[in-house]
Amino acid sequence: MGSLSRVNTYIYKKSSKIYTENDNMIIVSNGSVMWSYDKVNNKVMVLESNFSNREPIKLDYTEIIKDLLERYDVQLLGGGESFGEGLLRPESEAKGDEGNITKMWVDKEFWLPVKMEYKFGEFSMFIEYRNLSINTGIDDSFFEFKPPEGAEVGKNANNASGVL
């Protein structure tokens, strides 16, 4: 089985302001307009929608931990050398016969996940968060996107409420 690795920068600000970037694309939303920039093809899609009419995006990591507690028998283990002494590692095995395994390393101070490992039969997925910052005071102007010079720009005025 092959492997895939991707590095994303992800920035979120309440409510519904998002910036995410990887080698191939940038997605930015100011809450009412979302820009999706395809770096490879130099194309921008602009999605206009009234995001204020829908429930704000919730990035509540306590929901991930709550889900683990409901679906798994959780053991709280000590931090590992590769992640330092300030971390806790809940290791869980699925209740019943699901056969799935989830491991999550959690920052001890803020209880945010810093690494997750999922195994579903033969499939494995690892997620690692680096350079995590909280309440950094990012200005709202950061969530506005100006298309690069020469980029092809398309617009979609349809309701984009299901996109994010």
Give the per-residue pLDDT at 94: 58
Q: How far apart are CA 32 and CA 11, in angstroms?
A: 17
Residues 51, 28 contacting (CB under 8 angstroms): no
Average pLDDT over residues 13-22: 86
Q: How far apart are CA 44 and CA 147, in angstroms?
A: 7
Residues 124, 118 contacting (CB under 8 angstroms): yes
% of the chain residues with pLDDT over 90: 25
Residues 26, 151 contacting (CB under 8 angstroms): no
Query: pLDDT per residue over 148-164, tens digit each?
Result: 999 999 987 554 443 33
Counted residue by residue, the chain has a size of: 164
Query: pLDDT per residue over 112-161, tens digit each?
Result: 778 888 787 788 888 888 887 777 889 999 999 999 999 999 987 554 44
Query: pLDDT per residue over 77-99, tens digit each?
Result: 665 545 544 555 666 655 654 65
pLDDT band at 50 (very low <50, low <70, confident <90, very high): low
Give the per-residue pLDDT at 162: 39
Which residues fall within 8 angstroms of residue 128, CB to CB, at 6 or more apart?
Answer: 114, 115, 116
Give the per-residue pLDDT at 41: 96
Residues 96, 73 contacting (CB under 8 angstroms): no
Which one has a higher pLDDT value, 39 or 162?
39
Is pLDDT at 46 greater than 60 in this prediction? Answer: yes
